[in-house]
Amino acid sequence: MFTDLAQIFNFTLNPFALISLAAAVINFSLVVLILIKAEKNESNRWFRLLLAAIILWSMSEFLARSSGTAEGYLFWGFTGRPGWVFIPVILFGFVLSYTGKDLFKNSLYWYLTFGPPLAFLFFAWNTNLISNNSLADTFRVPWGWETTPVAPYFWVFIFWLETFLISSVAILTRYYFKTSDEIRKKQTLLIIIAVLIPIIGGSITDAILPIFNIQILPVAVLLTSVMSVVVTYAILRFGLFVINPTLTAKTIIDTMSESLIVLGPRNTIEQINKSTSDLLGYKKDELIGKSIRRILPDVKSWDTFLKRVIIPLKENKFVRGFEIDFRTNEGTLIPVSFSAKSLVENGHLIGMVGLARDIRDTRKLINRLTAERDKISVTISGIVDGVFAVNKTGHIIIFNPAMERMLKVGQDDVINRFSDEIINMYDNEKKLSIMDIMPKHEVFEDKVITSKKNIQILGKDGKEIFVDLTSSTIAGNEEINLGVIVTLHDVSKEHDLEEMKLDFVSMAAHELRTPLTSIRGYLSVLQEELRGKVDKEKMDFLQKAFISSGQLASLVENLLSVSRIERGKMKIEKSQVDLLELLTEVVSTHEDQAKQKKIKLKLIKPDEKLPKISVDRFRISEMVSNLVGNALTYTDGGGSVTVSVEKKDNEIITEVADTGQGIPEEALPKLFTKFFRVSGVLEQGSKGTGLGLYISKAIVEMHKGRIWVKSTLGKGSTFKFSLPLDIPEEKSANKDRVITGKGEDILGGTSQVKKTFTKKGKKIA
Q: What would the pLDDT profile of 629-656 be if each residue is shown by its tens digit?
A: 889 988 988 999 999 999 988 899 999 9
State yes or no: pLDDT of 4 exceeds 80. no
pLDDT at 600: 94
d(CA 763, CA 308): 108
- The answer for residues whose C-beta is within 8 angstroms of residue 662's C-beta and 6 or more apart is 711, 712, 713, 714, 715, 716, 717
* Helical segments of 127-244, H only: 154-178, 182-197, 203, 209-211, 220-237
Q: Going from the N-terminus, what domains does the chain have, and what CATH number goes with each?
A: 14-246 (1.20.1070.10), 256-358 (3.30.450.20), 364-490 (3.30.450.20), 572-724 (3.30.565.10)
State yes or no: pLDDT of 605 exceeds 70. yes
pLDDT at 242: 43
Q: Which of 517-526, 698-707, 742-751 has the highest mean pLDDT?
A: 698-707
Cα pseudo-dihedral 124, 127, 128, 130, rounded to 10: -30
pLDDT at 566: 66
Query: What mean pLDDT comes out for the span 597-608?
Result: 91
Question: How far, CA to CA in Å, does 721 sit from each of 219, 645, 701?
Answer: 101, 10, 10
pLDDT at 330: 92
Question: Which stretches does DSSP call E strand in 196-306?
Answer: 259-263, 269-272
pLDDT at 276: 92
pLDDT tier at 298, thresholds 50, 70, 90: very high
pLDDT > 70 fraction of the chain, expressed in percent and rounded: 83
Query: What mean pLDDT comes out for the span 684-694?
Result: 64
Q: What would the pLDDT profile of 259-273 be if each residue is shown by its tens digit?
A: 999 999 889 998 899
Instruction: Give the up-direction half-sphere exposure of residue 112: CA atoms within 13 A in the CB hemisphere.
Output: 10
**Of 545, 547, 528, 532, the residue nearest 763 (C-alpha):** 528
pLDDT at 505: 63
State yes or no: pLDDT of 535 exceeds 90. no
pLDDT tier at 281, thresholds 50, 70, 90: very high
Q: What would the pLDDT profile of 210-226 be if each residue is shown by its tens digit?
A: 777 776 777 777 788 88
3-state SS, residue 116: helix
Q: What would the pLDDT profile of 701-712 be if each residue is shown by its tens digit?
A: 888 899 999 998
State yes or no: pLDDT of 681 exceeds 50. no
pLDDT at 323: 93
**Of 721, 714, 716, the residue nearest 699 (C-alpha):** 721
- The answer for residues whose C-beta is within 8 angstroms of residue 37's C-beta and 6 or more apart is 236
Query: What mean pLDDT comes out for the span 677-681?
Result: 59
pLDDT at 750: 33
d(CA 93, CA 47): 9
pLDDT at 718: 94
Q: Report yes or no: 281 and 330 within 8 Å, Cβ to Cβ.
A: yes
Q: Report yes or no: 380 and 465 within 8 Å, Cβ to Cβ.
A: no
State yes or no: pLDDT of 580 exceeds 70. yes
pLDDT at 658: 94
Greater model confidence, 451 or 539: 451
State yes or no: pLDDT of 444 exceeds 80. no
State yes or no: pLDDT of 446 exceeds 50. yes
Q: Rounded to two decimals, what is the model's pTM? A: 0.39
State yes or no: pLDDT of 294 exceeds 50. yes
Q: What would the pLDDT profile of 460-476 be if each residue is shown by its tens digit?
A: 777 888 899 999 988 77
d(CA 429, CA 535): 60
Which of these ranges, 155-164, 301-310, 566-575, 717-726, has the smallest mean pLDDT? Answer: 566-575
pLDDT at 753: 33
Tell me the backbone φ, ψ of residue 651, rounded to 5 degrees.
Answer: -150, 160
Question: How far, CA to CA in Å, does 690 sit from each of 269, 562, 620, 635, 671?
Answer: 91, 11, 19, 18, 9
State yes or no: pLDDT of 691 exceeds 80. no
Greater model confidence, 10 or 513: 10
State yes or no: pLDDT of 742 exceeds 80. no
pLDDT tier at 507, thresholds 50, 70, 90: low
State yes or no: pLDDT of 478 exceeds 80. no
Mean pLDDT of the chain: 80
